[in-house]
Chain A
Amino acid sequence: DIQMTQSPSSLTASIGDSVTITCRASQSINNFLNWYQQKPGKAPKLLIYAASSLQSGVPSRFSGSGSGTDFTLTVSSLQPEDFATYYCQQSYRTTLTFGGGTKVEIK
């Protein structure tokens, strides 16, 4: 299995802040990395695919970068609806794996 490690596991931020979440793969996965947002009681929502491509309909304040083993998701100017848990997922192998999640909470 390819292990995906996210950090931090949680963070607190204020409306308008910029936050960055990190995801590290246990081996190189090129740019085969997707990001999801999940709100309580809801299914995850795809935000970013192929490390940096914005899914249709997702606000441009979300951005992704990285390649190889290290990736980041940045949310610039946090909005109230952005407080949620974020997951990375490797798409390098058909045996998919997710990171442990990062919960973004209001300060």
Chain B
Amino acid sequence: QLQLQESGPGLVKPSETLSLTCTVSGGSINSSTYYWGWIRQPPGKGLEWIGSKYYGGSTYNSPSLKSRVTISADTSKNQFSLKLSSVTAADTAVYFCARIHMRELLLDYWGHGTLVTVSS
């Protein structure tokens, strides 16, 4: 059974860079069938897609966040990571990682999510 687990600091200071890692178990990120993505949800609000990464290189990011987002993959560790620069309080959210079917662009496996608070 595929499992995804987010990890990283729960508190980040304004203007700094948020860094999260998603560790995938029960399957490999070296797949030509899937993207690996990040989604966030501010407290009490809806879902916002951040970006998707193909292990082989292609990356798609939200236009509203594009200049601040970097998604990378480490196939040796079966992990993919998110970096979001110049954070503000508006970036406070639960961050989810997920597997995305490349053809149907559906998200079928999700991590439990991790709350990141931006505060000094």
Question: Could you tell me which A residues sit within 8 Å of B by CB distance?
Answer: 1, 32, 34, 36, 38, 42-46, 49-50, 55, 87, 89, 91, 94-101
Contacts and interface: CB of A to CB of B under 8 A. Distances in A.
Contact of A98 (B46, B60, B61, B110): B46
Interface residues of B, number: 23
Nearest to A35: B106
Given A1-B63, A43-B110, A99-B46, A91 B52 contact: no
Contacts, number: 60
Most buried by A among B100, B110, B112: B110
Given A43-B96, A43-B113, A94-B52, A89 B107 contact: yes
Given A36-B107, A87-B47, 9 more contacts: A34-B106, A42-B112, A44-B110, A46-B107, A50-B104, A89-B107, A94-B52, A98-B49, A100-B46
B48 interface: yes
Nearest to A85: B46
B113 to A, nearest CB: 6
